[in-house]
Amino acid sequence: MDFPHGGPPPIKRDDGLRETKDLHEKVWDLERRLEKQSVTLQAVCTLLEEKGISPAALLAEVRRVEQHRASAAVKPCARCGRAIGRRQSACVYCGEPRVVESAFEEL
């Protein structure tokens, strides 16, 4: 059977396999990085406890930060006043960059 324009489009199977392999590597890298952060956090917690900061105090601070981040999830645009989500770098309505007050807002 003849196809117009020299034949059917090439099979995308290799692209799909490559994409799956890339995603697998990214997941593996994220898991490795998460494990490193978990180990680092555990070490920091141990040091803090040795310095007199109790696990309960640390947990209370974690909850305070969580509440602060949740309340800061949406900010009003400095130009038009519409809401800008935490993951947006600029207002989708007017393009004004989102004001970042702390490096932790970028995490």
Tell me if 74 contacts Zn ion by CB under 5 A. no
Closest contact distance (angstroms) between CB of 90 and Zn ion is: 8
CB atoms within 10 A of CB 70: 10
Tell me if 104 contacts Zn ion by CB under 5 A. no
Choose which of 79, 83, 89, 100 interacts with Zn ion (CB under 5 A).
79
Please report the beta strands in the chain, taking only residues with DSSP state E, as ranges in sequence order: 74-76, 83-85
- CA-based angle 9:15:20, to the nearest 5? 150
Q: Which residue ranges make up the site for Zn ion (CB under 5 A)? A: 77, 79-80, 91, 93-94, 96
